[in-house]
Amino acid sequence: MSLDLIKVADHAENMGVFPKIAAGDPALIKTDAGKPVLASIKQLPLVEEARVSPTEAKYQIASDKLLGGKALKSTRFSLSEDF
């Protein structure tokens, strides 16, 4: 028995949406979803800051913030007429 399957998926993180928002792409940051995502991205520590933390406690705080940033990927984006 053969299975013929096709899956069509649209994943914003695979389309470069988050790097473009982080870079300040005007078409994305003017959207209702883009504004809060950019604000949240700006609040995240740099990976290097976590990596060179002077204490384990400070590392854990930075690491937790970075892990929490993964939740941004669940932001629902939709294309608008002006996009």
pLDDT at 13 over 60: no
pLDDT band at 10 (very low <50, low <70, confident <90, very high): low
pLDDT at 12 over 90: no
Residue 47's nearest CA partner among 60, 58, 63, 61 is 63
pLDDT at 9 over 70: no
Which pTM value belongs to this model? 0.64
Mean pLDDT score, 68-81: 71
The residue that leads in pLDDT, 77 or 72, is 72
Q: Which two tokens stand for residue 33?
A: 């979803």
